């Protein structure tokens, strides 16, 4: 039976707004306060993974100096006198990034783990959490950037660029060139000259809509009020490509996109040519998993891709999306549910969401709070460049 003298102390601790953070081991409160445990003589971070202390033994302190001044020593498990775990992980990830950038060949996960003094599993987890991409994806992105920089260097030959970027042979590079550059190195060096992109403009209830397709798949779906402005936007995106108007068959593709805007319940099944960084593509894939009629916050998307602190980067990836409705960035809202910016106008975003909600209601499908395991949209990823 609990001693009566402890009852007021228990009540004070449990009513303190900091106690729920300790119970939940909430990392968000690390650095905001520490708590001491009378029975062990130590003080801890709110997120400490040690066994939960009895509330009658707990006191709260604004700083670690206050806790040490009261006679408590730092916990050896959560190390409250050291930098926060997230900062330590970020520093370790930065160290691995430098190792990857300086390596001639893509290092193996085991080699990186030995350098970091961690297990491969632990390294993979903290690197992905800190950067938003896997170590291998980061290494491929670094190599792609190196190739692009070398190809842009005046006087450098393609062969010189290939070897300077760390490829041991021409054949190994040409096997990967489509993934690294999205085209052959000669075509890349010419700014994409010679690549053919077909396009057509249609009209829908939300204004003009331009659909463009490369040899890989649909590479742009743009919306606006002025068809000529959309064509100029496409030209700016592919300045050296050969843009040609679509024939009657291609206009069927435009009609399919327009039909989806007008009736979202029809679904949209298109091969896509995604051009973006590794991080942007992870965000875009997560957006495709949001069911029609539902929304997700930027913070929820960041958490879903394993990078909960990258909310701003997620918002930037949404803003960089050039495939309206196919990559449904209109389904991403603020944490409070309010509509935020949309590159094709907030009113279009509102209209798209309203149409989807109405279509789902009419079909008897309730909006889902989580994404399904798969969707009907196929994507083929082109490497427009990973930074």
Residue 169 has pLDDT above 60, yes or no: no
Residue 145 has pLDDT above 90, yes or no: no
Report the largest interatomic distance among the alpha carbons of the chain, rounded to a whole angstrom: 86
- Residue 53's pLDDT is what? 93
Catalytic residue (one of 44, 48, 219, 386): 44
Boundaries of every domain in the chain: 4-74, 85-189, 196-387
For this structure, is 219 an active site residue?
no
User: Average pLDDT, stretch 271-286?
Assistant: 82
Phi and psi dihedrals of 168, rounded to 5?
-85, -15
Query: Which region among 43-52, 154-163, 316-325, 339-348 has the lowest average model confidence (pLDDT)?
Result: 154-163
Residue of 369 and 187 predicted with greater confidence: 187
Confidence label for 165 from pLDDT (cuts 50, 70 and 90): low
What distance in Å separates the CA atoms of residue 387 and residue 154, rounded to the nearest whole number? 21
Residue 32 has pLDDT above 70, yes or no: yes
For this structure, is 329 an active site residue?
yes
85-189: CATH topology is Arc Repressor Mutant, subunit A (1.10.10)
Place of tokens 């082109």: 382
**For the structural domain made of 4-74, what CATH number should be given?**
3.40.10.10
- Residue 250's pLDDT is what? 80
**For the structural domain made of 196-387, what CATH number should be given?**
1.10.10.10
Average confidence score pLDDT of the chain: 78
Please state the pTM of the whole predicted model: 0.53
**CA 85 to centroid of chain Cα atoms:** 22
Confidence label for 125 from pLDDT (cuts 50, 70 and 90): confident
Catalytic residue (one of 204, 329, 377, 386): 329
Residue of 218 and 175 predicted with greater confidence: 218
- Residue 387's pLDDT is what? 27
- Residue 62's pLDDT is what? 93
| Cα-Cα-Cα-Cα dihedral sign, residues 181, 187, 191, 194 | negative
Q: Do domains 4-74 and 196-387 have the same CATH topology?
A: no
User: Average pLDDT, stretch 24-32?
Assistant: 87
User: Average pLDDT, stretch 320-328?
Assistant: 89
What distance in Å separates the CA atoms of residue 384 and residue 294, rounded to the nearest whole number? 30
């Amino acid at each position: 039976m609990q001693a009566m003298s402890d009852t007021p102390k228990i009540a004070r601790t449990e009513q303190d707004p900091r106690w729920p953070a300790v119970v939940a081991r909430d990392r968000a409160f690390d650095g905001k306060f520490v708590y001491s445990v009378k029975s062990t003589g130590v003080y801890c971070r709110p997120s400490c993974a040690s066994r939960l202390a009895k509330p009658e033994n707990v006191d709260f302190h604004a700083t670690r100096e206050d806790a040490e001044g009261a006679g408590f020593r730092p916990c050896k498990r959560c190390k409250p006198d050291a930098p926060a775990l997230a900062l330590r992980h970020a520093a370790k990830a930065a160290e691995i990034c430098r190792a990857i950038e300086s390596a001639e060949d893509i290092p193996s996960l085991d080699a990186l783990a030995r350098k970091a003094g961690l297990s491969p599993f632990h390294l993979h987890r903290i690197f992905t959490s800190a950067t938003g991409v896997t170590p291998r994806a980061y290494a491929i992105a670094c190599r792609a950037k190196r190739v692009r920089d070398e190809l842009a260097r005046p006087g450098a030959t393609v062969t010189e660029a290939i070897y300077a970027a760390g490829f041991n042979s021409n054949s190994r590079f040409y096997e990967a060139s489509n993934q690294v550059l999205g085209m052959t190195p000669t075509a890349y060096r010419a700014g994409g000259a010679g690549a053919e992109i077909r396009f057509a403009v249609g009209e829908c209830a939300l204004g003009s809509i331009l659909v463009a397709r490369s040899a890989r798949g649909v590479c742009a779906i743009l919306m606006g009020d002025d068809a000529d402005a959309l064509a100029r936007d496409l030209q700016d995106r592919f300045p050296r490509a050969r843009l040609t108007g679509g024939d009657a068959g291609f206009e069927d593709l435009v009609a399919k996109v327009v039909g989806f805007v007008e009736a979202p319940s029809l679904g949209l099944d298109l091969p896509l040519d995604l051009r973006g960084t590794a991080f942007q593509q992870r965000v875009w894939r997560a957006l495709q998993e949001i069911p029609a009629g539902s929304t997700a916050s930027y913070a929820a998307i960041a958490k879903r891709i394993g990078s909960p602190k990258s909310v701003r980067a997620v918002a930037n990836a949404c803003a960089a999306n050039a495939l309206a409705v196919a990559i449904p960035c209109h389904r991403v809202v603020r944490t409070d549910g309010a509509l935020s910016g949309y590159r094709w106008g907030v009113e279009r975003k509102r209209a798209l969401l309203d149409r989807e909600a109405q279509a789902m209601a009419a079909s008897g499908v309730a909006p889902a709070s989580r994404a399904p395991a798969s969707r009907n949209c196929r994507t083929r990823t082109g490497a427009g460049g990973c930074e």
